[in-house]
């Protein structure tokens, strides 16, 4: 017998309700109309495009080691229909991406058999896959609408940017977004108690549940009693995009402030440090960042890889020449980033390796070094030039947007 699988990729359609009336014997009787006929009809409740009043819903979650076809059979779907899951093309549904812990909802008929008519697999809060599971397998995709809510939030930092977002009941992704925006101008490893931020942004919600940060429009970050402003300004015709300070200078610099995120400085630049392994005093012309093994390490700027090998006490090392002035090195790596070879070109923010403890090391950390014209310099004190500022022809438009954002941030000009 030939099997057929019905794929409904168009999502959930909309039903168009209509009504008609038959003239009464008395032509003057207008008590019944199309509008009143519609209003008297019971409302239809739908979830994921399913008329749920006809079914009983039950929630569940995929267990460790379970396949989705196994889940279906356990719920009472026929083996024939459940087996059709494994014939679905990846473009319709990839069964290999089913994850333990992900939830599903089964809708059962309300008769004595309680047959599973639909099973909705919740890929995320937004994306859901609706399976019809009776005579043959049908598949449709349903996206819940995302609502963008404008917000202005502020926090004072006691220990770290991460903790400040948590303690103020803010979406944790806000700290990640802010660290990306200010990566070139704020040293997040030097955050002090009393630093803080005010930010104007949108947050995305599905069914009153936050699903992440939409866009940050403007922010004021206070660090070491100095205010750093960031204003989102894009101009497609001039091909400029990004964040700018109050004077229209780009926050993007030639070099990032640090080659990794959310770790701590365990040793600073010095010409007289007692080596933790060799137990002798010797120069340490770099900065050590303590971080878990496997933490991604990124290039602080565009450049060319001039060294990639195991080098004595430095362990696995990558060295990058950025221009005629600056060169950087990344030591004690556990392994190299994908495609990192001598001669390869790297971009700012590209992963060039992962934190490790190779070579003369007492624990996982990154030893980061910078040379200026061949002389070692303190990475924490390195100044980095900005990219081009907002062009003069766009400055009036930028200032108008800045004024609007300043009102949201409570900044007085």
- Per-residue pLDDT for 276 more than 80? no
Question: How many structural domains compose the chain?
Answer: 3
Shared-domain flag, residues 327 and 342: yes
Domain boundary among 78, 108, 143: 143
What is the arithmetic mean of pLDDT over 365-387?
A: 85
> Assign residue 349 a region: left if phi > 0, alpha if psi is -120 to 50, beta otherwise?
left
Residue-wise pLDDT for 278-313, tens only, equals 454 446 668 899 889 999 999 999 999 999 999 989
Shared-domain flag, residues 203 and 133: no
The pLDDT value recorded for residue 22 is 38
Shared-domain flag, residues 153 and 125: no
Shared-domain flag, residues 32 and 136: yes
Angle made by CA atoms 316, 322, 323, in degrees to the nearest 5: 145
The pLDDT value recorded for residue 262 is 57
- Asked whether residue 398 is domain-assigned, the answer is no
- Asked whether residue 402 is domain-assigned, the answer is no
Shared-domain flag, residues 274 and 295: yes
Shared-domain flag, residues 116 and 158: no
Residue-wise pLDDT for 88-147, tens only, equals 999 999 998 999 999 999 999 999 999 999 999 999 999 999 999 998 999 999 999 999
Residue 155 pLDDT grade (very low, low, confident, very high; cuts 50, 70, 90):
very high
Domain that holds residue 223: 147-244
CATH number of domain containing 182? 3.10.450.350
- Per-residue pLDDT for 274 more than 60? no
- Asked whether residue 251 is domain-assigned, the answer is no
Rounded Cα distance, 220 and 370, in Å:
30
- Per-residue pLDDT for 31 more than 90? no
> Assign residue 194 a region: left if phi > 0, alpha if psi is -120 to 50, beta otherwise?
left
Alpha helices by DSSP H, listed for 125-244, are 161-167, 173-181
Domain boundary among 143, 165, 198: 143
- Per-residue pLDDT for 40 more than 70? no
- Asked whether residue 199 is domain-assigned, the answer is yes
Q: What percent of the chain has pLDDT over 70?
A: 84
Shared-domain flag, residues 139 and 189: no
The pLDDT value recorded for residue 9 is 33
- Asked whether residue 12 is domain-assigned, the answer is yes
Q: What share of the chain is helix, strand, coil (3-state, %, to 5)?
A: 20, 35, 45
Contacts 24+ apart (CB under 8 A), 228-232: 228/182, 228/185, 228/186, 229/411, 230/181, 230/182, 231/398, 231/401, 231/402, 231/405, 232/405
- Per-residue pLDDT for 319 more than 90? yes
Greatest mean pLDDT among 222-236, 247-261, 373-387: 222-236
- Asked whether residue 406 is domain-assigned, the answer is no
- Asked whether residue 291 is domain-assigned, the answer is yes
**Verdict on whether the full-model pTM lies above 0.85:** no
Shared-domain flag, residues 43 and 168: no
Shared-domain flag, residues 237 and 162: yes
Residue 188 pLDDT grade (very low, low, confident, very high; cuts 50, 70, 90):
confident
């Amino acid at each position: 017998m030939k099997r057929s699988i019905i794929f409904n990729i168009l999502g959930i359609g909309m039903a168009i309700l209509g009504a008609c009336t038959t003239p009464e014997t008395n032509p003057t009787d207008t008590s019944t109309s199309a509008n009143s006929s519609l209003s008297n009809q019971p409302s239809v409740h739908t979830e994921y495009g399913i008329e749920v009043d006809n079914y009983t819903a039950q929630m569940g979650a995929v267990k460790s080691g379970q396949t989705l076809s196994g889940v279906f059979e356990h719920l009472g779907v026929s083996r024939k229909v459940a087996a059709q899951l494994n014939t679905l093309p990846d473009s319709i549904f990839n069964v290999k991406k089913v994850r333990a812990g992900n939830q599903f909802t089964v809708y059962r008929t309300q008769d004595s058999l309680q047959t599973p008519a639909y099973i909705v697999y919740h890929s995320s809060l937004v994306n859901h896959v609706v399976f019809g599971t009776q005579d043959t397998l049908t598949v449709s995709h349903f996206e819940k609408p995302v609502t963008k809510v404008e917000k202005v939030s502020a926090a004072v930092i006691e220990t770290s940017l991460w903790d400040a977002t948590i303690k103020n009941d803010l979406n944790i992704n806000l700290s990640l977004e802010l660290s990306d925006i200010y990566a070139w101008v704020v040293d997040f490893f030097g955050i002090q108690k009393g630093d803080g931020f005010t930010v104007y942004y949108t947050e995305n919600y599905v069914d009153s549940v936050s699903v992440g940060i939409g866009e940050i429009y403007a922010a004021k970050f206070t660090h070491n009693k100095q205010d750093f402003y960031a204003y989102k300004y894009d101009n497609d015709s001039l091909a400029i995009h990004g964040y700018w300070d109050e004077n229209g200078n780009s926050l993007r610099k030639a070099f990032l402030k640090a080659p990794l995120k959310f770790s701590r400085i365990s040793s600073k630049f010095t010409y007289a440090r007692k080596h933790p392994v060799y137990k002798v005093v010797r120069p340490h012309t770099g900065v050590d960042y303590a971080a878990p093994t496997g933490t991604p390490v990124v290039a602080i700027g565009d450049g060319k890889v001039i060294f990639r090998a195991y080098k004595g006490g430095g362990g696995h090392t990558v060295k990058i020449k950025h221009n005629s002035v600056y060169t950087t090195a990344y030591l004690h790596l556990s392994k190299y980033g994908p495609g990192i070879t001598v001669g390869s070109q790297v971009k700012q923010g590209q992963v060039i390796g992962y934190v490790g403890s190779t070579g003369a090391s007492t624990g996982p950390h990154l030893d980061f070094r910078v040379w200026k014209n061949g002389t070692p310099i303190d990475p924490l004190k390195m100044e980095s030039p900005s990219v081009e500022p907002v062009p003069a022809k766009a400055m009036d438009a930028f200032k108008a947007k800045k004024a609007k954002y300043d009102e949201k941030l409570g900044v007085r000009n």
